[in-house]
Copies of this chain bind each other. A is one copy, B any other.
Amino acid sequence: MNDQYDAHPDTRAPGPFRDSVRACRVRLARVIEPSDTAGLVLLRALGPEVLWRSITELDAPSAPLASVYRRAAGEALPGARVPDLARRFAAWRARLPVAEPAVDARHAELIGAWTVIPEDPDWPEQLADLGLQEPIVLWGRGRREALGHLERGVSVVGSRHASAYGAAVTRMIVGEVSEAGWCVVSGGAYGIDAVAHQTALEVSPATTPTVAVLACGVDRFYPVANAELLARICDRGAVLSEVPLGCAPTRYRFLQRNRIIAALSRATVVTEAAWRSGALNTARHAAGLSREVAAVPGDVLVGGSAGCHRLVREDHAVLVSNGAEVLELVGALGNDATRDTVSRNENLDRRPEDCLDPLQLRVFDALPLHTDVEPDRICRVSGLGPGEVLAALATLRELGLAADSLLGWRRVGSPHGRKSTDHGSA
């Protein structure tokens, strides 16, 4: 058996695993689960080839290996409990029979899957922010060039049980973000994920891919009901996973997968999430990686957005109501664009008299709509002096808010008059 996992897989493994580093990483990913600290410490210290040879050739950690491990683990995990190497080593060796690269290679060829490793020029550099938790390898299907678009990536995630509201909000936000040329990353699941990918496929320019990161092997389009969607994502973008071919999604893998969604993109937006939702886990990974985190609020009476509200309250996520606010967050809007958005909102119910200063407002308030009054009376009603009143009246006339005649002054109101004013609480 050792023979099968020898140190020169480049000469043995067929197809996509000809080069040794790639072959070793693919095999290591079969025996070391995501975030297995001991394995990742050794991978960093020894590199994939030496680590693989050690696991296959040694029955138990040798003294030099244990010494390398202790030093590397002490550096990588200062102050933390260092996992017991002998135990981990036994666990990796127990899994050796499943690491069959020839089978993987055949399978990959059949379904058009590929791998990308940190040594590749197109490895998404932003994954290095994961430090020790950087994936050993990523499996992919679809367009490999989608990896390059992830530099302008926004993750849009949320509940599997999406409400009509959550779906509508997701469509709105993904629509605006995609149209601006940003690559939407999500998890390929039911609910918000599916809506995010679908919208990105419908809305975004043909050149902008959408990327799904799965918690199972990329050969399994899970959930099955999303198989067609995932196939369409492969046509226009890519499906990625750090989990080897054939592996089922487990909760542990879902939680691990979320860190990749968070790390790949510049911001994570939670469009709908209940109080406890895996999407919060993704958001917290993003915050831990100093990525922007945003959440869309919703109805507080039904609870579907309780997780989003929790993120804003407890985790200082930025509250966003539309795609423009997401783009603002990732710095995709110039100052002009930002100002446009703000003024668009501010114009929503702007009235001409809104630009008045307090003194002018008092004079405006004192002007009747249906009769003409003399400045004297305006002075008494407003409590202002004649000089102030006359100056204000002149300004109001310029603004078209007051008119004078031989009989005095009157207000030239907005069509609805003052009655329509919302004085707020109030």
Contact = CB atoms under 8 A, between A and B. Distances in A.
B365 A422 contact: no
Given A274-B349, A296-B300, A309-B319, A91 B423 contact: no
Interface in A145-202: 155-161, 165, 168-169, 172, 186-193
A275 B424 CA distance: 11
Contacts of A353: 251
A197 to B, nearest CB: 10
Most B C-beta atoms less than 10 A away, residue of A32, A165, A251: A251
A340 interface: no
Given A215-B423, A361-B251, A309 B321 contact: yes
Nearest to A280: B424
A276 interface: yes
Interface stretch (A46-54, A72-80, A115-123, A254-262): A254-262
Interface string A243-260: 000000111111101100
B300 A157 contact: no
Contacts of A250: 362, 365-366
A355 interface: no
B91 A424 contact: no
Nearest to A279: B424
A44 interface: no
B87 A388 contact: yes
A306 interface: yes
Interface stretch (A18-26, A63-71, A378-386): A378-386
Nearest to A86: B385
Interface stretch (A92-100, A134-142, A331-339, A395-403): A92-100
A281 interface: yes
Number of copies of this chain that the complex holds: 2
Contact of A425 (B258, B300, B385, B425): B258
27 contacts: A31-B383, A88-B385, A94-B379, A159-B425, A160-B423, A160-B424, A161-B422, A187-B423, A191-B426, A193-B426, A215-B423, A258-B425, A258-B426, A275-B348, A276-B348, A277-B422, A279-B424, A282-B425, A282-B426, A297-B300, A297-B305, A297-B309, A297-B312, A297-B319, A299-B299, A300-B322, A313-B320
Interface of A: 31-33, 35-36, 87-88, 90-92, 94-95, 97-98, 155-161, 165, 168-169, 172, 186-193, 215, 249-255, 257-258, 261, 270, 273-282, 296-301, 303, 305-306, 309, 312-313, 318-322, 325, 345-346, 348-350, 353-354, 358, 361-362, 364-366, 376, 379-380, 382-388, 418, 421-426
